[in-house]
Amino acid sequence: MLGNKPTFDSIGFLQQLRNEEIEQYFGNPGLAWENLFFQQNKKMSIKIRSIYGVNLGMDVDISCTELVKKPLDKSSKNMNGELTRILDNTPILEITESNLLIKSKSPNGSVTNELKVNQQEKPKFFNRALEKPVHPIREVFLIPTGFKKRAIILAIEFDSLKLQNNENTVLEAFKIIDDSIEKVDTISHREPRIYIFRKGEKPQPLNFFGDALNKIADLILRISNNPNCILLIDEIENGIHHDNQQEFWQMLIKLAVAKDVQIFATSHSAEMIGAFQAAAIANKQEEKVRFIEMYKSKRTGEIVGDSVDMETLAFDIQNKNPYRGEE
């Protein structure tokens, strides 16, 4: 998200996503940005490069500066001024202000944002000094693990899809999970909701069903209503039974290609990764998809991502070679 939309709101969203209690930073501003940096080392800057095509992209540089009080004098002297005792020769450095500086450059211009934490005045806890409007090259949407969008929002987005005359896209996706579903539509009773019509049953609201249908609805509606966006999905296997995973991937890949949506999905599931590989082959989209294996380098201790093509991934799966960052 920061690589595409380097703003105050993106920082706040990441902190919320990690369940950080920002109130704790009022008295300890030095802690505010630690979790953004590798191994909490704020002396090293973060550099993110996003490339979306020829002469289209963004370079983002994130660094941290801090204001420190003068070290406390922890030595004692006698009346003659002679040093008699040293309690501790390590100076106490009290951080009074921690500033996160975000600089971004793109072919269309440059933007500089400065975010500040100040322990002395709570209203200035997040000071958006120097912030200018940022227009992302692509909209970015994140679906965290276990996230469920409000029923009324899904209904509004479904109505938008109906205006495009594409509501059957959701029905076809739902049939992957439950082939007894005959119709999907919105009904307004106090507030609009998506209802599912199954053969021989009364219509029931979507939120009465399991995680799989709610997750698929969110994915389909985000992609269909936001062409040319970037979609980040954490632990994509959650809620999708392994018997449906390949067909689920085939539907997702086909829709993403049609809408020019770039999907980044994480998974530790061997079944889900195998279904992804099989779906890419079945859709004949081997050149448009990639598997990226993430692992910790034994030499540097850094997290490394290696891009793996579908043929290599199929070989590793078949021969039970490590492909999920295993030692």
pLDDT in tens, 42-58: 888 888 888 776 667 78
- C-alpha distances out from residue 140 to 65, 120, 159, Å: 28, 35, 22
Q: CB of 305 within 8 A of CB of 292?
A: yes
**What is the chain's mean pLDDT, rounded?**
81
**pLDDT at res. 18:** 77
User: What is the DSSP-derived secondary structure letter of residue 90?
Assistant: S
End-to-end CA distance of the chain: 29
- Tally Cβ neighbours within 10 Å of residue 156: 16
How many beta carbons lie within 10 A of that of residue 214, not counting itself?
20
Residue 220 backbone dihedrals phi, psi, to 5 degrees: -60, -45
d(CA 279, CA 289): 10
> CA-based Rg of the chain, rounded to a whole angstrom?
25
**Confidence label for 83 from pLDDT (cuts 50, 70 and 90):** very low
HSE at residue 288, side-chain half, CA atoms within 13 A, is 19
* Distance in angstroms (rounded) separating the CA atoms of residues 7 and 12: 9
Q: What are the tokens at 314?
A: 């199929």
Q: pLDDT tens for residues 241-294? A: 999 999 999 999 999 999 999 999 999 999 999 999 999 998 888 888 999 999
Name the strands in the sheet holding 56-68, side by side, starting at the edge strand that comes first in the sequence: 46-53, 56-68, 95-106, 109-118
In CATH, 142-289 is 3.40.50.300: yes
In angstroms, the CA 225 to CA 148 distance is 18
Of 75-84, 135-144, 227-236, 243-252, which range is least confident?
75-84
Predicted TM-score of the model (pTM): 0.74
pLDDT band (50, 70, 90) for residue 129: very low
Contact (Cβ atoms closer than 8 angstroms) between residue 61 and residue 76: no
What are the residue ranges of CATH 3.40.50.300 in the chain?
142-289
- Read off the DSSP letter of residue 288: T
